[in-house]
Amino acid sequence: ELISFLLVFLSLLTAGASSVVVGHPLDTVKTRLQAGKGYRSTLHCVLTIYRKETVMGFFKGMSFPLASITLYNSAVFGFFSNTQRLISKYRYGDGRHPCGMLDLTVASMLTGLMSVGLGAPVDLVKIRLQMQTQTLVAENLHLAGNVSSSTDIPLRSVDIPSQRAYRGPIHCISSILQTEGLQGLYRGAGAMILRDVPGYTLYFIPYTIFCNLLKPDPTSTPHPCSIWLAGGLAGSISWVTATPADVVKSRMQADAQLQRKYKGVLHCIIDSYKTEVCSNRNLPGYTL
């Protein structure tokens, strides 16, 4: 049993670390596009990061997710499996009884809710570190009154790239605790719930359905290739539906104390809609 546990732990460690290292550069680009300013496209964002920060700019904020990914994956998948067993035991009297669609939905939603408790602080620290070279908006820093009326510097382009608030993940956590308290680590958790509860539901249910469809017969176990395909398809479905809430979450988590712009989830949604949807309707060639 100890050997089996160690093998599972090493598998989770290797898989989790690989996913973070491979996916973090893309996640950095995603975060900058969602919560940053001045990027015209994905390619422009990639080239800007590379020119200003070199390759290392794509890996900012990676250490904390890398250190916690094994615990996070173990907790999430362990919670999902144990919740299924408890539901089966309660409804059918046997923890090994196959779960129905309703059972999977309940287990997935509870897993998504639980994941926020572990994942919100990790995501917050990651995003704060990823966004450190972003332009500081003068109006959010209340610098407007300090800028002379004769200056030629636009108020929304005051760039202070050398002033980094955080030296690393530990310093970031301690700074947030000092300035915002424990609740500061969970800023954007409401948006994360809106993302993860339906997101996990729309991951685990399609994953289970695809695995069952790709099995040669109902009694056999899925082939590893079938599992990879099912995971990829389920992940695509999940992220397509979760992206709007993920944008709101990223913007709220990047909204640091000194730059506070959003009062809450609803305010962030309304402000984003007004500034990016309504304003675009006035642009030439805009169509819905």
Q: On the CB side of 76, how many CA atoms lie within 13 Å of its CA?
A: 23
Phi and psi torsions of 235, nearest 5°: -65, -40
Mean pLDDT of 217-231: 86
Statement: residue 152 has pLDDT above 80: no
> Under a CB-based contact definition with an 8 Å cutoff, are residues 182 and 130 in contact?
no
Angle between helices 265-273 and 224-254 (to 10 degrees): 90
Q: Look at residue 207 in the predicted model and tell me its pLDDT.
A: 94
Q: Distance between alpha carbon 278 and the CA centroid of its chain, in Å?
A: 26
| Two structure tokens written together for 135 | 């332009």
Work out the burial of residue 176: count CB atoms within 10 Å of its CB; fewer than 13 is exposed, 13-18 middle, 19 or more buried.
buried
Domain spans, the chain: 188-287
> Under a CB-based contact definition with an 8 Å cutoff, are residues 131 and 254 in contact?
yes
A 10 A CB-CB count for 242 gives 21
Q: How confident is the model at residue 276 (pLDDT cuts 50, 70, 90)?
A: confident
Q: On the CB side of 239, how many CA atoms lie within 13 Å of its CA?
A: 8
Q: How confident is the model at residue 284 (pLDDT cuts 50, 70, 90)?
A: low
Q: How confident is the model at residue 153 (pLDDT cuts 50, 70, 90)?
A: very low
Q: Look at residue 41 in the predicted model and tell me its pLDDT.
A: 94
| Two structure tokens written together for 171 | 């310093």
Q: What would the pLDDT profile of 170-190 be if each residue is shown by its tens digit?
A: 999 999 999 999 999 999 999
Euclidean distance between CA atoms 273 and 288, whole angstroms:
14
pTM summary value: 0.81
Euclidean distance between CA atoms 231 and 245, whole angstroms:
21
In sequence order, which residues have a C-beta less than 8 Å from that of residue 29 and are 6 or more positions away? 42, 45, 46, 49, 58
User: Among candidates 206, 208, 211, 213, which has minimal Cα distance to 236?
Assistant: 206
| Two structure tokens written together for 196 | 């993860």
Euclidean distance between CA atoms 19 and 11, whole angstroms:
12
> Under a CB-based contact definition with an 8 Å cutoff, are residues 22 and 43 in contact?
no
